[in-house]
Every structure is written in C-alpha cells, then in structure tokens.
Amino acid sequence: MLSHSLAALDDRIRGKTLTVGIYGLGYVGLPLALRFSEVGIRVIGFDIDAEKVKKLNAGQSYIERLTPDRIQQARAQGFEATGDFARTKEADALIICVPTPLNRYREPDLSFIVNTVESMLPHMREGQLLSLESTTWPGTTDEVLAPRLRSRGLVPGENCALVFSPEREDPGNPHYGTKDIPKVIGGATPTCLHLGQGVYRHAIQTLVPVSSTKVAEMTKLLENIHRSVNIGLVNEMKIVADRMGINIHEVIDAAATKPFGFVPYRPGPGLGGHCIPIDPFYLTWKAREYGVNTRFIELAGEINHYMPQWVVGKVADALNERGRAIKGSKILVLGLAYKKNIDDTRESPSVEIMDLLQAKGAEIAYSDPHVPVFPRKRDYHFDLQSVPLTADTIGSYDGLLLATDHDGFDYALIQRHAKLIVDTRGRLSGDNVVAA
C-alpha cells in the first residue's frame, strides 16, 4: 500500500496532472522535455547555462535537429527553462540528464550528477520521483543518490521514489526518436519502479522494466561496450588491411552478404559522441573494486583511442609522397561533428586530429555545414569558423581530410579540385584519394 505522499503522486501521474522537471537541457534532456510537452505534460527545464535558458524561453533552439517551431510549441504548452533550482519543489518527477565525463586519468567524473543533486536537495519534498538518466557505473543510484535522499529524510519506496532509466538518444537517426526507442527502467523498490513506469509511459511507447537500478545501469554499459568492442575490432582490421593493400570497406561489404552470424561495423578516425568513447571506462573502473580486470574492454578502448594518431600518420605519409611535410602545410578537415548529418561535436575525433596536426605545425581549418563556428570545449579551443567549399577554397589547401562524411558535402566538387584527400570513411576513390 502506498504512503499518502506517494499515493498523491500516483494520482497525479495517472491523471496527467504532474509536472516534470528535466535537469540538463542538452542533447538528451531537451528532446525529452519536448516529448513530455508534446503529450500535454507541464515541464520545467533546469540548466546552469544562462544562455541556453534565455534562448529556450525566447523560443529559440541551439540543437540543429530540434527546430524553433518545436521549442515554441512546447512553450505554448507551458514549458519553461530556468536556472533557479528552488523551483525543484514545483515538480513531481525530477529527471537528471547531465554529462558523465571521464577525468584526466580516465576515471568516472560524477561531479555533474552530484552537484545537480546537491542543488536540488534543499528544495525537494516528499512525494517526488527522482530519475537518473546519465550513464554511469552499476551501483551509482543506490550508492550515490539514495544516501543523499535519506540525509534529507526522503526514503525511496516510502515517501519518495528513485529510479534509473538510461538515455538511448541517437542524434540524427531518422527512424528512432525519443518516443520510439524502448526505455529500460529499474527502481530502487517495486513501488519506485511502478511510479517510474507511470511517468515514462506518458512519453515513451515501450518500457522495459528490469529488477533493479543496477541491472538498468549495467544494461546501458553493455549496449555501448558492445559497440566499442566491435568498432575496435574493425578499426584494427582496417590497419591490418591497409598494410596488406586491401580495401577494408570492400571486405566489410562482402562479409555483410552472409545472412547470419555477422553484423557490419564501419571503421573511422576514432570514436566520438557522449557514450561510446566514455561508457566502457565506467565499467572497467568499477570492476576493479571487485578484483576483475576487464582486459577485452580496455584493449578495444586502446585501439579506438589510437585511431586519431593513426590518421595523422596517414596524412603525413600522403603529404610526404607529394614532397611536402605536415609542418607548414594547409590542411582542411571536412566534418567536425562526430558522425554525419548532425551538429554534435562531443568527443569528436575530428577535434583531436586537428589538435595533433596543429601540434606538428600544420595550418588547420575545417568545413562543416552543421557546425558554423567551432564550439566551446573544455580541452580544446580553435578560433575558427567553417570554411565554405568552393573550387578556389578547396584548391588552396595542400590536403583535405575527410573525417565526417556529411551528405551535404559536394563530393564531386571536392574530388575535382582537391590536390589530396585523405579519406577516413571509405567514401571516395581516385588518384588524389588516400584511404585512412
């Protein structure tokens, strides 16, 4: 039987009269906020970036795929953004969607989660549900969030609810949006799970309940470790094939004709995005607590982490064959986003490659139709704007590096006027193209 405060929450969930608070309005939090708004639920969005808050409240968007029309429609439904955490008390469901990066030692950095929760706690009340969506190591919800709630007299399953439901956003995927992607959810107690499912059921078509928050946390890590390991394998195969003079993309296409037992993964210049380059190390770190050495996962990480350096080596070799050194060469990087047709540059290998090339004395520029100005980053800064691709600009560079194969690039124009193209995506072929 539910306590009075949780029974009241359950009533608001069932009647769709609840208010949802989304903490972190980035590539995960903002689409989720818009989805709840679309189904008629009031949403308050919290973010410490005052510029984001200002833009959203003015009906503007800072994420390419989320049009201003969608922001304005959400505003008309009552959506508002704020940096005032005191308004936490107004929300019934509190959903945390903040980054979980690695520190300089490749160890989990939970500071964004902890700081967010600490800012919320003084304003939390009985009868609220707290959901963590940020990817993290198994045990975070139980070991980091639950004790902080209890320190305020909030006991999961008794007078509040606590769940973990990992985000599964895939920016740029035309087939699966927020509402279409099945959502895994685990609760601190059966009551927590029941209430969490009630909240998410309004916005997500398919829910996948699991037995605990730890299972939900491990599920997200397995999904991304699976991809990391397979990408590491195909990247290593690419290096071997390159040494043997074999086109790895032709090999993959041929192998993919097998109707069973093979899933094609594509090599590239390195891993990018907010998940695959980072998430595996959350598990390797936690596994050490249990005396387990995750050698397989770490090896894949080493291979993927090495790829930008390998690409720079290919650029150096290609220039050298044409009588030029990297130092003093003008190099145009095509594609700053971490994958094609989006504006997301988080952990993009393009940025690391630019840094490595510049460190070797190259004069660096980039072109990306989705990223007009180089964004603010913690570890890198380039005072650059996207270069328009014309016959004259293309021909003015000693080499072009195709790092992200956006469909918006005019590849015929590029190939016609480029002196040299180093292609990391297997998109081009010709006398002026070098595969990397």
Separation CA 80–CA 256 (nearest Å): 47
H-only helix segments in 87-201: 111-120, 140, 146-150, 190-201
Amino acid at 223: E
As separate numbers, helices (DSSP H) first and strands (DSSP E) second, the chain gives 15, 13
Rg (CA), the chain: 24
> Which among 79, 32, 63 is positioned nearest to 204, based on CA atoms?
32
Q: Annotate 25-46 with b (16+ C-beta within 10 A) or e (fewer).
A: bbbbbbbbbbbbbbeebbbbbb
Q: Which of 97, 160, 192, 275 is catalytic?
A: 275
Separation CA 148–CA 188 (nearest Å): 14
CA 14 to chain CA centroid, Å, is 32
Please give the structure tokens belonging to residue 106. 């490749």
Separation CA 21–CA 131 (nearest Å): 10
What distances in angstroms separate CA 104 from CA 47, 245, 346, 355, one per listed residue? 25, 37, 16, 17
275 is catalytic: yes
> Catalytic residue positions?
275
